[in-house]
Chains A and B, each alone.
Chain A
Amino acid sequence: DAMVIQNPRYQVTQFGKPVTLSCSQTLNHNVMYWYQQKSSQAPKLLFHYYDKDFNNEADTPDNFQSRRPNTSFCFLDIRSPGLGDAAMYLCATSNSGRTGYSNQPQHFGDGTRLSIL
């Protein structure tokens, strides 16, 4: 089955220790998204890629970086995690036309729950 896969499901890191979360997709979608979601809150968009074009949300902290080495993979790097970064991180994909605009539904991975010690 075509899907969005996130690894790991649970990640524990120490305060200030860099961590990388990964996402892969077999849907062949050209747009990939990273969201942060805290308990009982709306998902908050951090970044999205239209193919290799990177789009950073204005309020995404500099502590968060992303890489998309190819169509199938996308990574979220947190350079110096703080206690406030403990959250569920969701990767999603969708298809869009050449403009990058899409009304297609987003397909989500199961998420990575990040805990900070």
Chain B
Amino acid sequence: GQNIDQPTEMTATEGAIVQINCTYQTSGFNGLFWYQQHAGEAPTFLSYNVLDGLEEKGRFSSFLSRSKGYSYLLLKELQMKDSASYLCAVLDSNYQLIWGAGTKLIIKP
């Protein structure tokens, strides 16, 4: 079967750095997305990785290792507004999007 694993919940301090991991086992791979979802709201697109390496976009970076079936989202200089769920999703060989259940990130002052 196809599977995406992320930690259920993480806690970090305002101003700090946090890394949210995602491991996947899918039938084929056509890219990996990270989405942010605030409570009661829709997911919003953060990043897309299809090649190995680190993609940096402001305070957020996303890393991919296809050989390890692994990605992480790195959030720097955490702000209270970053409290949200972060969802990892993988495009399989049929271009079907397989979603993880998300990691709830709690930011403390």
Which one of A105, A110, A113 contacts B33 once the chains associate, using CB atoms below 8 Å? Answer: A105
Those of A31-48 within 8 Å (CB) of chain B: 40-45
Which one of A44, A105, A107, A113 contacts B48 once the chains associate, using CB atoms below 8 Å? Answer: A105
For the complex, give the distance between the alpha carbons of A111 and B42 in Å: 6
Please state if A110 and B41 are interface contacts (CB–CB under 8 Å): yes
Please state if B30 and A105 are interface contacts (CB–CB under 8 Å): no
Please state if A43 and B99 are interface contacts (CB–CB under 8 Å): yes
Q: In the complex, what residues of A have CB within 8 A of residue B30's CB?
A: 103
Q: In the complex, what residues of A have CB within 8 A of residue B33's CB?
A: 105
Interface flag for B13 (CB, 8 Å): no
For the complex, give the distance between the alpha carbons of A42 and B102 in Å: 7
Supposing A90-B42, A108-B44, A113-B40 touch, asked if A103 and B102 sit within 8 A by C-beta, the answer is: no
Number of A interface residues in the complex (CB < 8 A): 19
For the complex, give the distance between the alpha carbons of A101 and B94 in Å: 8
* Central interface residue in A41, A44, A108, A109, by most chain B CB within 10 Å: A108
Number of B interface residues in the complex (CB < 8 A): 24
- Interface flags for A28-71 (1: CB within 8 Å of B; 0: not) read 00000000000011111100000000000000000000000000
- Interface flags for A91-117 (1: CB within 8 Å of B; 0: not) read 000000000011101111111010000
Those of B8-52 within 8 Å (CB) of chain A: 8, 30-31, 33, 40-45, 48, 50
For the complex, give the distance between the alpha carbons of A106 and B44 in Å: 8
Which one of B42, B50, B100, B101 contacts A103 once the chains associate, using CB atoms below 8 Å? Answer: B50
Please state if B102 and A40 are interface contacts (CB–CB under 8 Å): yes
For the complex, give the distance between the alpha carbons of A102 and B91 in Å: 9
Please state if B87 and A42 are interface contacts (CB–CB under 8 Å): yes
A90 → B minimal CB distance (Å): 6
Chain A interface (Cβ < 8 Å from any Cβ of B): 40-45, 88, 90, 101-103, 105-111, 113
* Cross-chain pairs A/B with CB under 8 angstroms, 11 sampled: A40-B8, A42-B102, A43-B99, A90-B42, A101-B95, A102-B95, A103-B91, A105-B48, A110-B41, A111-B42, A113-B40
